[in-house]
Every structure is written in C-alpha cells, then in structure tokens.
Amino acid sequence: MKSAVFFALLPTLLSATSVLAVAPIPQKISNLPTVPNKFIIEVDDLASIPNKRSFTRSLDAVYSALNARDVQYEVNKEYDTDGVFVGAALTLSSAEDVRAVEETPGVKAIRPVRAFKQPILAKKHVVTGHNDPELPADTLSTHVMTGVDKLHAEGNVGAGIKIGIIDTGIDYKHASLGGGIGGNFLVAGGYDFVGDAYNGNNDPVPDADPYDNCNGHGTHVAGIIAAQPGNEYNITGVAYGSKIYSYRVFGCSGSVTEEVLVDALIRGYKDGNDILTLSLGGADGWSASSSAIVAGRLADLGKIVTIAAGNDGAAGSWYSSSPGNAHDVISVASVENTVISLQSAIVHGATYGPIVYFGTRPFPVTTELPIYAISNSTTISNDACDPLPDSTPDLSSYLVIVRRGSCTFITKLANIAAKGGKATLIYDNGNGFAGISVGTYVATLIQAADGEFLVNQFAAGDKISISFPQTGGAVDFPSETGGLVSTFTSYGPSNDFYFKPAVAAPGGNILSTYPLALGGFAVLSGTSMATPFLAGTSALYLNAKGKSAGVAKAARDVFETTATKIPSSKTDGDPLQTLTQAGAGLVDAYKAIHGTTVISPGELVLNDTAHFKGIQTFTVKNTGRTNKRYTLSHVPAGTALTIQEGSILAEVGPVPLSTNYASVTVVPSSFSLAPGRSQVVVAVIKPPAGVDASRYPIYSGFIDVTSASDVTHVSYLGLVGSLKNKQVVDNTDAFFGIKTPVIIDATGNWQEAATNYTFANGDWPSLLWKLAFGTPALRVDLVSAAINLKPTLSARGFPFGPFFTFPTKHRSGSYAQVKIVGPLASFDYIPRHDDLDNAPYSLFNLETSTFANGTTIPSGTYRVLLRALRVTGNPLLEEDYESWLSPIVGITAP
C-alpha cells in the first residue's frame, strides 16, 4: 500500500539515508553519526596477552594475532599511553573482520568511531563596534554572579595553571589573547590535529599550529578563560593568569571524529595540562564512547575535565551528552547572564525617563516625534483592536502610543497603519516585558508605568515628544531570565542514572574574543560558553589549593557542594529548578575556594525504585579555624515529570515540574565540629508520594548544612519507577502517522503483507524504528517466517498473517532460546530519538542479502525480529527485551 503519509516523509527519509543508514558493514552505533568501517580498539597490557612472544608493545602482539587470522585492516592512528589508553583506530574491510578483531586475544574492546558536530550555538552575534547595542554593558556581570571578581581582587588569576582547550583552535594573534604563541605568550602551545579543510569526512592534515581565523568558537572559549585585561571592551577572562594550550580538532566547519578526539585528549594529558576543557559533544545518554572513556580516565588520573552538558534542552529529559557523560568529568550546564543590554528613548516636554524599550538595537526613528495616544484610558483592554474612528488624525507624523491586550500586536499595528501610523510604542498591560513579534511594523514594547505616564500626559493636553538615540542609548537591564538555567541546557540524567549535568556556570549572552578576521569580539550563548567558565574557575581553585591529583579529584564535589541553588522561574513560590538540568547549582568560585566546610561526596544518587539506595551517607568536615555548630535541613527542587501523561514519549523542555517532594531524615540533624574534625551523616530519603510513576518523575534537591558562617549542601537525585518498565521502542504513530517499527521497500511503500525482495535494482527492504528511550542493546535478526514467538509490541492493527493465529504461549525464558536464522545488525548503548532532530528515527537498509557477518542469506521466507533491551535489563533474558516481528519478508537470491 502506498500511504499518503509516506510522500510527506520521503524527502526526510532520503536525506537520512546518507547520514544514518547503517554503514556497509554493521557496527555498534549510537544515534550520533558514526564513521563507516572505522573502529577504535583498546588492547590489554602486554603482560596479560597470551602468545606475546618477543613483542615489546601489546599493539604489536595484537597486530600479529590479526595477521595470523588473515584480518584485513589499516591502522589510522595508534594510542600508546600506558595507564591511559593503549589501542588503535583501525579501518576494517568486512564484518567478518570486525568479528575476528573482537575475538582476538588481547583486544579488550572494539568501539565504533563517533563523530561530533560543531557545537550549535543558541546565539551568535558579532560585535560591530563600541556602540554596538548588543554589547552587554557590564562585561563583568558573569564574574560578579559567581564571585570570580572577588578572587581577582585577591590577586588570584590562575597563575601557574595549564589549561588545554580542545576546540576549533585559537586566534592567538588577537591582542586580548596575548598576540602570539609560544612559551612567553598566553597561548603557550598546542597542536592542530586537523587543518582548515577538515570536516570530519575527509583526512585530517595536522600541523603544529592551532591558529584559527575561520571558525571562531575556540577563540570565544579562550577569551572566557583568559582574555587579557585592558582590551577595548574591558572584558577579562576568569583565569587570565593561566597558560593556554590549544588543541585544534575542528576545521573551519564540519565535525570531528573520535579518532582525532581521543588523540587530542591524550596529547593534552601528556603535555601536562592541569585542566582539559571540551565545549563539544552530542546527545547520547550513555558513557560508552571511546572519547567518554578516555576523558573519564584522565579525570581519574587527577586532571580536571570540564565538558559541555549540551544544548538539547528542548528535547527533554534523559538526553545527556557525550563525552560529558563520562564518569568523573564535570558536565557543565548554562545559566543566563543577569544583565541584558536594552535601548532607551528620551522624553521631551516633561521631566521623565529615559524610557527603556525592549530592543537590543536602536529604534529606527531618527527624528523627535510628538506622541499620540489611541485611547486616553490606561485601562482599556482592546486598544486599537478595531479600525480606528474617522475622527483619528493622520498619524504619520506622530509616535503612536497603544496599550497591549485582547488582539494581536499585528492587528493593532495594521489599524494604526490604516490611519498613516508609522512608528508605535506598545505599552505593557502586565503580560510581561519581553521581546514581541511585530512583523515588519516599526514598533516596540515599553513597560506599563512608562506607557501610563505618556497617556496621562497626552490626555492632560501636555505636549510630549520622544527621540531615540542611535548611539549611546544602551542601558543595563536586569534580564528577566538572568540567573536562571538557560532553557537550551540538555537535561540528564544519563540512562544509567549518573548525575548529569554536575554544576552550572554563566553561558547565556556572553561577550568574548573572536578571531580578528571575523570581527574580534562576539556575544554567544551555549553550554559551550559555560564550560570554559568552569575551566577558568577550576584554574583559580587549583591556584589556591595546589595542583595535586587529590585536589583535582575533589573539585567536582567542592563545586557542587558550594554552588548556588537556581530557581525554576522568577515567580515566588515556584520550585527550584530540577537538578537534572541545573546540576548542583551555579558555581560559586569564591565559596569553593574560601569555604571552610567540606562535604563529600557532593552527589547522592538514589537510582530507580528497583535499585533504590534510599539510605545514604556523607561526611561533613570543618576545615575552618573555629568551632562550628551545624544544622541540617532538606531543601527540595521541583520533581521533573519526564514522560508525557498517558504516553511513552518524553516531555519536551521545559520539562514540567511537580511540587510533590521527597522527604528526608538526617541523623544527626545538628552537631558541632572542632576545627579539622568531621562527622558522618546518614540521610534516609523517601521518594515523593502522590506522583504518577508512569511519568517517570525524577525527584531531586539538597540537604543543606548550615553553620553561622556558611551554607553548603549535598545534592540528591532519584526516580519514582523502575527503568526496566520504561518502554524503549516507539510503537506509536505520533511522528509518522503510521506505527513504527515498519519495513519499507525501496520504492517508498511500507510493507504490511508478505513481500518478496530480489536485491536487484534497489529492491531491498529497510527497517525503520524510533526509540522512545535509550537502550543498551538493540538487535535485528532474521527469523523463520513461521517462528513461534509472540512479540511484545504489535505494531499495527492489521493481521501479520497466519502466525498470529497461534495460541499465545508463554515467552521462552531466555534470550538465547529464541531461534534465529541469523543476525542482521546490532547496536549497543544507543540514545532515544528526538523529534526536533533532522533524523528522528533510525533506518537499517538491507541492501545486500547478507547476514551481519557477510554470509549470503539463503533464499526463503523470513521475518525480521527487532529486539531492544530495556534499561537495567539483563541481556541474557528474553523477557527484558521488547520485541517486534515484521510481516513476512521473502528473500530471493539475486
């Protein structure tokens, strides 16, 4: 049947084929595009490799074993740093070879090579000059928000600390970034792993020089860390006394593959950086990628590793980003800058003002205009919603004043334009002072009180006129969202319930350096901007506390326990923001360094109800010089309702919050500590009652530890419900209008009846699926057409054929007992789909009639069996998988 839906779908499907179609040989992939036929292997220590003979490197022993098995492989890159990562990036030529490598003694793991796109920024504006209205007026507001200004005042600017930035390179010729590269400069060294032309799909062309004058991202990141004082915009980096090492892994545009990223991480480690920072990644939900594993190891070795939490907040919960998912690294959320720069108008004929209007650029009116109020009432609810009366004068020489409400701005402005009106100020009616849409009309929003003043003056017959300065009219205005978590910040936790993100830093509306060739300075927004802020903060922390591995490994706990709690809105009474987006709060650099109460660990992970750890312990230590009396108290954050009501699909961001909170008992709930003494505290946490477990509510909050001189806290995170119950495969018709999974033929039909495929002239089947939740294992197998198996998911209302007339039997107890003819594909640790993505589904194309191992499938009639393991499920147990069985697929030998 040719479905109407399918026509609308086709272009998307075709474009997706090139990106997401499974590569010539099946790989274990996630939804991140992976590089066809390339893999990263990790090998054992030499000591644990059998038959190592005279080899001095374990890699050589493994190569020799591969040669003995006649595996065809090409070595693209070797990683040989004992204690960090020993392995190689390989290109393999067939699925049999992948299997052979996997089974070769000495090979610890083989993982696909992932690609990460250039970070997509939430905002990008290149500053045009000193009078650019988008320049934040207080360039140090982010430092004030986090106490960095106070550390600078003490002289702590991160001196003696080396920070490796893995990014697009740096325009180090920028005077604010030192003006050069080498030992005496701010940018002391680095490496270009890729070259300008690299885009993730071509061969990198490395050289020693990480100069960037074409991309800009890394230059902005570098300025947040270390812009030198005294520049024309008076911005300074958080740790402008540190030394920067620049590792360029992106070309001018495109992606980076893990082959390069793993290399850069290891190089950053070997160069002796104290901190490594990565403003990159992709939605994932798992921590199984090679780069996440290497990043996590560097953290375990005593490096502070800061990685962006991701900018996928709109996609909702359970969508944390890799490599930020890596255990022990610090995943960084973004908070909005407290100030935004708005424009102001001058009032003539009365002593009033200036009047701030909601525009980041000057209002395009260059002459002083008298005002005309459409109504003399300041309470009118439907001002200018109807055509204006005949008595209305020609409005073309006036600045029209109209009250917001009842109809759209466009309706009001059209009625005003019908009387010749060319420029309008709309005054707020209490709805909120924010950006408005006025189409092509010249109009902007002012605050209610300002509008009421103008109308009252007009009604009293006073002659009032207004002018709009075209330069110098910018004012600092408190941002409505200032101090809140940036809505673009990706929500965690990871699917295995790791506390992601860890902590937040300013990342929304940030002015920093930009390549000279691209304008010199820019305002950008993203977790990409928050991440270097935390790297800079880490440098101040190491400068103050010393560079030992112990100090570095304690950093995350210290930042978490001293962070500032973040509300979910500016409305009194609204809950704190869920820790699944805010982490433990906004970093407080001053408190992290000068605090005299140390709590560890910083995170209490309670996990789901099936693996519930409701009894937790933590230690409170008084590192101050005086006795302290502590009192402990519970401060809950909003409970995130992560799944839509009555659905299996995730709530999109902003994720709704409930005020049903956990209850917490702590023992002891108060105690005194002499200097240097510590106390173990037991916390008993009970999940909230009255929440619907089918919405997978994640509750979170803090246990505050308060003394007369300080407040610190430990964060907790738990789930009402068991992840093993969470449906993984999306079998709804919500996205395509037809239920998934579905088999599609090459001409665009979706298959509902038995269909034969010849594998000639494009006549082959594709399996399309969508995941509503991440899965640790997804398997696609060919099974007998007559298989006696009742799938857990029946895809559609129409009958599948005679098979379904079998009486329902109990499912077999074990995964292995399901009789398959042969495997077609398998994918490990893959994320759910996101409907906002370009390709919110996966497509497996069976282009040749071969099993996963490359062997030809004998002609016959089969079904395709898709199985997805539920999170925390046992991979050996069939009942922990969801299964879907296709209609009959006939395979005719080509």
Q: Does 379 bind ligand NAG (CB under 6 A)?
A: no
Q: Long-range pairs for 207-210 at CB < 8 Å and ≥24 separation?
A: 209/181, 210/169, 210/170, 210/181, 210/246, 210/247, 210/248
Say how many C-beta atoms besides its own lie within 10 A of residue 806's C-beta.
Answer: 12
Q: Which of 6, 172, 191, 498 binds ligand NAG (CB under 6 A)?
A: 498
Nearer to ligand NAG, 262 or 454 (CB): 454
User: Burial level of 887, CB count in 10 A (0-12/13-18/19+)?
Assistant: buried
Contact track, ligand NAG, 838-857, x by CB under 6 A: -------------x-x-x--
Site string for ligand NAG, 313-352 (x = CB under 6 A): ----------------------------------------
Omega cis (within 30) before 354: yes
Residue 763, Cβ density class (10 Å: 0-12 exposed, 13-18 middle, ≥19 buried):
middle
Given the DSSP bridges, would you call strands 304-308 and 330-336 parallel, antiparallel or unpaired? Answer: parallel
- Are 294 and 262 spatial neighbours (Cβ–Cβ below 8 Å)? yes
- From the list 438, 463, 441, the residue with the least C-alpha distance to 371 is 463
DSSP assignment letter at 709: S
CB-nearer residue toward ligand NAG: 188 or 589: 589
Which residues have a Cβ under 8 Å from the Cβ of 364 and sit 6 or more positions away?
Answer: 442
**63 binding ligand NAG? (CB under 6 A):** no
Q: Using CA atoms, how far apart are residues 124 and 518, in angstroms rounded to an integer?
A: 12
The answer to whether 822 contacts ligand NAG (rule: CB under 6 A) is yes
Burial of 3 (0-12, 13-18, 19+ CB in 10 A): middle
Q: Provide the Cα torsion 618, 623, 626, 630; round to 10°.
A: -20
Query: Tokens standing for 290?
Result: 């090679």
CB of 818 to ligand NAG, least distance (A): 13
376 forms part of the interface with ligand NAG (CB under 6 A): yes
The 104-143 contact track toward ligand NAG, x by CB under 6 A, reads: ------------------------------------x---
Shortest Cβ distance from residue 872 to ligand NAG (Å)?
Answer: 4
Nearest to ligand NAG of 234, 619 (CB atom): 234
DSSP 750: B
In the complex, what is the shortest distance from the CB of residue 821 to ligand NAG, in angstroms, rounded to a whole number?
Answer: 7
Query: Among residues 256, 323, 275, 261, which one has the least CA distance to residue 117?
Result: 256
Cis peptide before 668, with omega less than 30 degrees from 0? yes
Spot the catalytic one: 167, 383, 496, 828: 167
Which entry of 528, 568, 766, 883 is annotated as an active-site residue? 528
Nearest approach, Cβ of residue 33 and ligand NAG (Å): 27
Question: Candidates 83-91, 228-236, 638-646, 743-751 — which segment interacts with ligand NAG by CB under 6 A?
Answer: 228-236
Distances (CA, A) of 73 to 46, 67, 103, 821: 21, 9, 15, 29
d(CA 448, CA 452): 6
- Per the residue annotation, which of 125, 143, 217, 833 is the catalytic one? 217
User: In 181-327, which ranges are E strands?
Assistant: 187-192, 243-248, 255-257, 275-278, 282-283, 304-308, 321-322
d(CA 664, CA 615): 10
Residue 528: active-site member: yes
**Cβ closest to ligand NAG, residue 116 vs residue 696:** 696
CB of 228 to ligand NAG, least distance (A): 11
CA 452, distance to chain mean position in Å, is 43
Between 353 and 890, CB nearer to ligand NAG: 890
Residue 781 binds ligand NAG, judged by CB under 6 A:
no
Residue 751 interacts with ligand NAG (CB under 6 A): yes or no: no
Q: 């320049």: which residue's tokens?
A: 135
Options 236, 290, 642, 715; binder of ligand NAG; rule CB under 6 A = 236
Residue of the chain from 409, 488, 497, 702 that contacts ligand NAG (CB under 6 A)? 497
- Binding to ligand NAG by CB under 6 A, coded x per residue (else -) over 550-589, reads ----------------------------------------
Query: Do residues 243 and 161 lie in contact, with contact meaning Cβ atoms separated by under 8 Å?
Result: yes
The residues in 586-605 that bind ligand NAG, with binding defined as CB under 6 A, are 605
- Please state, in angstroms and rounded to a whole number, the distance separating the CA atoms of residues 686 and 665: 9
- Rounded Cα gap, residues 226 and 275, in angstroms: 13
Closest separation in Å from C-beta 723 to ligand NAG: 8
611: contact with ligand NAG by CB under 6 A: yes
217 catalytic per annotation: yes
Q: Which two tokens stand for residue 76?
A: 């693209």
Q: Please, what is the minimum distance in Å from the beta carbon of residue 120 to ligand NAG?
A: 28
Least separation in angstroms between residue 605's CB and ligand NAG is 4
The C-alpha R_g of the chain, in whole angstroms, comes to 30
Q: Which of 496, 651, 878, 882 binds ligand NAG (CB under 6 A)?
A: 496
**Residues of span 863-882 touching ligand NAG by CB under 6 A:** 872
Site for ligand NAG in 444-463 (CB under 6 A): 459, 461
Closest CB to ligand NAG among residues 28, 217? 28
Smallest gap, in angstroms, from Cβ of residue 308 to ligand NAG?
20
Least separation, in Å, of the C-beta of 823 and ligand NAG?
6
Sign, CA torsion 70/72/76/79: negative
**Would you name the residues annotated as active-site residues?**
167, 217, 528
> Where on the chain is the footprint of ligand NAG (CB under 6 A)?
140, 229, 234, 236, 375-376, 459, 461, 496-498, 605, 607, 611, 754-756, 822, 851, 853, 855, 872, 890
